[in-house]
Amino acid sequence: MNDAKKFTLLDKVNDPADIRNLSNKELKTLAEEIRTYLIDVISEVGGHFGGSLGTVELTVALHKVFDTPKDKLIWDVGHQAYPHKVITGRRDKLPTIRQLHGLSGFLKRRESEYDVFGAGHATTSISAALGVAKAEEMMNTGNKVVAVIGDGAMTGGMAYEAMNNTGVQKGNLIVVLNDNRMSIAPNVWQFSNYFSGLTSSPEYNKFKGAIWDLTGKLDDFGDRLRKVTSRLESGIKSIITPGILFEALGFRYFGPFNAHNIPQLVKIFNHVKGLNGPILVHVSSVKGKGYKPAEEESTKMHGVGSFDKITGKSIVKSSKPSYTSVFGNALVELAKENEKIVGITAAMPDGTGLLKLQKEIPERYYDVGIAEEHGVTFAAGLATQGIIPVVAIYSTFLQRAIDQIIHDVALQKLHVVFALDRGGLVGADGPTHHGVFDLTYLRMIPGMVVMAPKDENELRNMLYTAVEYDGPIAFRYPRGAGLGVELKEGFEKIPIGKAEKLKEGNDVAFLAVGKMVEYSLEAAAELDAMGINTEVINMRFVKPLDNETLDYVAGKFDKIITLEENNIVGGFGSGVLEYFNEKGYKNNLLRIGLPDGFVEQGTQEELHRMLNIDAEGIVGRVKSFFENTGKDHKASV
Ligand SMILES: Cc1ncc(C[n+]2csc(CCOP(=O)(O)OP(=O)(O)O)c2C)c(N)n1
């Protein structure tokens, strides 16, 4: 960083062991330095911001009290774990976060022994921590296991499956519920209403203060007394505290505590460290804590590009509208014409473009929480009654709901529209977030229509086609700016399963979907100049495939290339291959897509280049394809 500061304490912390002997006062200074460092670095390089500012004191207190890495600390999602990275020896690398070959923006086992469980998708922490806790028990290590989960992640069903099972198994597990009342957007957690009603009551606060004083005093009297007290305490507490909900699941509840008060956190963690069985510590934090713009605009500053440190204003702006905004606007346009249309998001109103629907037609907008599975089956229920649900979920998060798509939607042939944002490589969020399996997992589903637009107008038309269709139908589109084409007024229906020829050629045919259409046209222009006359077809549909077009290319060309921004296994190219095999076509077929592996983080452009799927990469691959298959241009069928 240009204005790299000297930090009196942080500069000496290379490992959590370095903070264990610090006093509360020093810990407070350390927390302030970590916060300053985060603001310095993230304002320059971007990243997840508000969540991490809110966990600074919590992270310091956890690493102070628990003997990490022997004790196991498991973070949900991982976007709030930047302070954890800073404390666990990765401070100097923070400026590389989310960049090619840099630190991951989430948790990653390969990155550090302190990252006990990789994350990126929400609501995994309690299940994983229970597994770790049971393993520690089996090996009799005595190590403690702590899961940290946000109230947003608590809207995911797996949290309750995990808590129920932890209660049944009596797992030795401490769950820290970091409650800031925010998901990315304001959280839709019904428990929050219950907590805020209860905790704002003066009777409750008086009572809680008394209980806390009592346990605090008794804390020094040794283990047995502490256990008796705790049992007594929990018995009384369950009558009146918010913990009753968790206690019903077999957890002993402590809280809510101020997540920015280090001495109090240290005290409670020391207390629960000595206890066995399932424990829930509820802490109340402020998202964006300590940086005014992030406190005030916590949705916007959940994740940021580089920004002006003084004003909090974003520095980089794209001039072209994003696919997300084109989709969000088109949905509102169509919803105004057709009152049956509703929009569903799983806690991502901003990210999916549904914010506009929420503002303009709030009664036809649903935020189901970080609950993709529920969202899909909820949509299926709506569809049984003739409502047209448009389920807008990122490609990567819809992976969560594959069975719901198969069992609840497709099997019943229900008219549910799936709008998959972030299809393809997403860039800085990396392997947990790339949307590179959707063409595969949707294509295998009987009766599903699967589309990918080449540009913004086609996206609008696909949405229109989908709401006018009757059955399960999906389209996926890339993260980020569109091509910048002029938006046409109105909508046109696309005939289901019909491709469009974009460029005539004689030597080789490109069959492309989605983003790859743009690269194919660029590559074709270069290849033409080199004497390889290339035909480009925008296939539009991955399912049903346009068999007529496939018959036509198989008859005209010896060399055919499929192009998709999807894992090469089981995607669009596989579909073409299957069809060719069924028909006995013997053409030379090359499938271009993503390798069967997990692609790292980097900018989208860097990754496209690295994986040879951009125009230049395609040209290179076509040249080798010609070298390997000979110069014969005509089909052999
Ligand atoms: C399965 C899944 N769906 C959606 C997301 C996107 N997402 C990332 S963080 C987040 C909000 C998490 O809220 P919370 O757990 O309260 O943490 P906070 O950021 O408020 O600290 C969401 C919706 C995700 N990571 N995983």
Please state the domain extents for the chain.
Answer: 10-295, 323-476, 500-629
How many angstroms is it from 397 CA to the middle of ligand 1? Answer: 11
Q: Give the residue, by CA position, lying nearest to ligand 1 atom 25.
A: 121
- Per-residue pLDDT at 305 exceeds 70: yes
Give dist(CA 297, CA 275) in Å, integer. Answer: 39
How many angstroms is it from 183 CA to the middle of ligand 1? Answer: 6
What would the pLDDT profile of 443-494 be if each residue is shown by its tens digit?
999 999 999 999 999 999 999 999 999 999 999 999 999 999 999 999 999 9
- Topology of domain 10-295, per CATH? Rossmann fold (3.40.50)
Q: What percent of the chain has pLDDT over 90?
A: 86
pLDDT score recorded for residue 192:
78
pLDDT score recorded for residue 636:
41
**Is 80 near ligand 1, meaning CB less than 6 Å away?**
yes
**Is 77 near ligand 1, meaning CB less than 6 Å away?**
yes
How many angstroms is it from 516 CA to the middle of ligand 1? Answer: 30
* Closest alpha carbon to 534 in 514, 506, 558: 506
On the 0-12 / 13-18 / 19+ scale of CB atoms within 10 A, 113 is: exposed
**Is 400 near ligand 1, meaning CB less than 6 Å away?**
yes
**Is 124 near ligand 1, meaning CB less than 6 Å away?**
no
Active-site residue set? 287, 372, 400
Mutate to test the pocket of ligand 1, among 48, 53, 77 (most ligand atoms within 8 A of CB): 77
pLDDT score recorded for residue 167:
96
Whose tokens are 């006995």? That residue is 584
- Per-residue pLDDT at 98 exceeds 80: yes
**Is 454 near ligand 1, meaning CB less than 6 Å away?**
no
pLDDT score recorded for residue 218:
44
What would the pLDDT profile of 287-298 be if each residue is shown by its tens digit?
999 999 999 999
- Partner residues linked to 304 by β-bridges: 47
Give dist(CA 80, CA 197) in Å, integer. Answer: 27
Q: Which of 64-78, 134-148, 225-239, 271-285 has the lowest mean pLDDT?
A: 225-239
Full DSSP string of 94-134: GGGTTSTTS--SS--TTT-TT--S--SSSS-HHHHHHHHHH
- Per-residue pLDDT at 116 exceeds 90: yes
**CATH topology agreement for domains 10-295 and 500-629:** yes
**Is 288 near ligand 1, meaning CB less than 6 Å away?**
no
Strands 588-594, 559-567: pairing is parallel
Mutate to test the pocket of ligand 1, among 370, 429, 434 (most ligand atoms within 8 A of CB): 370
Identity of the amino acid at 39:
I
Average pLDDT value over all residues in the chain: 93
How many angstroms is it from 80 CA to the middle of ligand 1? Answer: 10
Minimum-distance ligand 1 atom for the alpha carbon of 347: 23
Position 279 confidence tier, pLDDT thresholds 50, 70, 90: very high
Q: What average pLDDT does this structure show over 140-162?
A: 97
pLDDT score recorded for residue 319:
79
**Is 289 near ligand 1, meaning CB less than 6 Å away?**
no
Minimum-distance ligand 1 atom for the alpha carbon of 187: 16
How many angstroms is it from 51 CA to the middle of ligand 1? Answer: 9
- Per-residue pLDDT at 222 exceeds 50: no
How many angstroms is it from 90 CA to the middle of ligand 1? Answer: 23
Whose tokens are 């204005």? That residue is 3
Q: How far is CA 458 from the centre of its chain?
A: 26
- Partner residues linked to 475 by β-bridges: 419, 451
What would the pLDDT profile of 45-77 be if each residue is shown by its tens digit?
999 999 999 999 999 999 999 999 999 999 999
Full DSSP string of 283-304: EE--TTTT-HHHHHTTTTTSEE
**Is 150 near ligand 1, meaning CB less than 6 Å away?**
yes
What would the pLDDT profile of 566-605 be if each residue is shown by its tens digit?
999 999 999 999 999 999 999 999 999 999 999 999 999 9
- Per-residue pLDDT at 413 exceeds 90: yes
Q: Which of 30-44, 158-172, 310-324 has the lowest mean pLDDT?
A: 310-324
- Per-residue pLDDT at 199 exceeds 70: no
Q: What average pLDDT does this structure show over 132-154?
A: 98
Minimum-distance ligand 1 atom for the alpha carbon of 149: 15
Minimum-distance ligand 1 atom for the alpha carbon of 400: 1
pLDDT score recorded for residue 209:
56
- Per-residue pLDDT at 350 exceeds 50: yes
**Is 294 near ligand 1, meaning CB less than 6 Å away?**
no
Q: Is 74 helix (H, G, I), strand (E, B) or coil?
A: strand
Q: What average pLDDT does this structure show over 333-344?
A: 98
Count of residues making up the chain: 637
Position 216 confidence tier, pLDDT thresholds 50, 70, 90: very low
Element (H, E) at 232: helix 223-240
Minimum-distance ligand 1 atom for the alpha carbon of 179: 16
Q: Is 574 helix (H, G, I), strand (E, B) or coil?
A: helix
Minimum-distance ligand 1 atom for the alpha carbon of 153: 15
Mutate to test the pocket of ligand 1, among 183, 283, 368, 399 (most ligand atoms within 8 A of CB): 183
For the full predicted model, state whether its pTM sits above 0.95: no
pLDDT score recorded for residue 205:
57
Q: What are phi and psi of 413, to 5 degrees?
A: 50, 40
pLDDT score recorded for residue 262:
98
pLDDT score recorded for residue 193:
74
**Is 401 near ligand 1, meaning CB less than 6 Å away?**
no
- For the 500-629 domain, the top CATH level (class) is alpha beta
Q: What percent of the chain has pLDDT over 70?
A: 91
How many angstroms is it from 79 CA to the middle of ligand 1? Answer: 8
How many angstroms is it from 188 CA to the middle of ligand 1? Answer: 12
How many angstroms is it from 563 CA to the middle of ligand 1? Answer: 32
**Is 79 near ligand 1, meaning CB less than 6 Å away?**
yes
Q: Is 637 helix (H, G, I), strand (E, B) or coil?
A: coil
**Is 121 near ligand 1, meaning CB less than 6 Å away?**
yes
Mutate to test the pocket of ligand 1, among 184, 354, 367 (most ligand atoms within 8 A of CB): 184
**Is 395 near ligand 1, meaning CB less than 6 Å away?**
no
Q: Give the residue, by CA position, lying nearest to ligand 1 atom 16.
A: 152
pLDDT score recorded for residue 440:
98
Is the pLDDT higher at 561 or at 229?
A: 561
Q: What are phi and psi of 271, to 5 degrees?
A: -65, -55
**Could you name the CATH architecture of 323-476?**
3-Layer(aba) Sandwich (3.40)
**Is 397 near ligand 1, meaning CB less than 6 Å away?**
yes
Position 258 confidence tier, pLDDT thresholds 50, 70, 90: very high
**Is 418 near ligand 1, meaning CB less than 6 Å away?**
no
- Per-residue pLDDT at 4 exceeds 90: no
